[in-house]
Amino acid sequence: MKTLRFADLKHKMSPARRAEIARAAKAEVAPAMTNARMERLKAKGCWLVEARYARDFVIWLRFADGTEGEVDLSGELHGPIFEPLRDADYFRRFALNPSLHTIAWPNGADLALAFLYERLQLPA
């Protein structure tokens, strides 16, 4: 089965439709973490050291500062880059990306470290 890329389809779309898709993708992807914010998190020991699939669209995470808990991403998978992650089997294919200090999927989707840290559900 051939995988279609946006580049393969864009010649079949009107310029207005291409612009609409580009705007939607920009709006739905979290802004990149600034270097300063990343450095503050790293200084606090807030980088990921372990990630495991828990269930459904929930991932268990452990940060270097000892903080651990679950993040439910079921309501966070919006936009074209996250569309493949809505498939439960594909969602499970995440891995720790040591250069980004976060989790990433084979299609290039990743979630900002601060995004994960802020949404961590700590065990009671």
Q: Which tens digits make up the pLDDT trace of 34-60? A: 566 666 666 666 788 999 999 999 999
Of 27-31, 51-55, 87-91, 115-119, the poorest mean pLDDT is in 27-31
Q: What gap in Å lies between CA 20 and CA 17, rounded to an integer?
A: 5
pLDDT value for 20: 61
Spell out where the chain has E strands. Answer: 48-55, 58-63, 68-72, 95-97, 102-104
User: Given 3-state DSSP classes, what are the helix, strand and coil percentages for the chain, each rounded to the nearest 5?
Assistant: 40, 20, 40
What fold characterizes domain 6-118? Answer: NE0471 N-terminal domain-like (3.30.2020)
Q: Domain boundaries in the chain?
A: 6-118
Q: What are phi and psi of 96, to 5 degrees?
A: -70, 130
- What does pTM read for this prediction? 0.66
Of 42 and 78, the structure prediction assigns the larger pLDDT to 78
